[in-house]
Amino acid sequence: QVQVVESGGGLVQAGGSLRLSCAASVSIQGFNAMGWYRQAPGKERELVARIVSGGSTDYANSVKGRFTISRDSAKNTVYLQMNSLKPEDTAVYYCVAEILRLRYWGQGTQVTVSS
Q: 57-91: buried (b, 16+ CB within 10 Å) or exposed (e) per residue?
A: eebeeebeeebbbebeeeebbbbbebeebeeebbb
Q: What percent of the chain has pLDDT above 90?
A: 97
The whole-number pLDDT of residue 30 equals 85
CB 20 within 8 A of CB 68: no
Q: What percent of the chain has pLDDT above 70?
A: 100
How much is the mean pLDDT over the chain?
A: 96
pLDDT exceeds cutoff 90 at 61: yes
Q: Give the mean pLDDT of 68-93.
A: 97
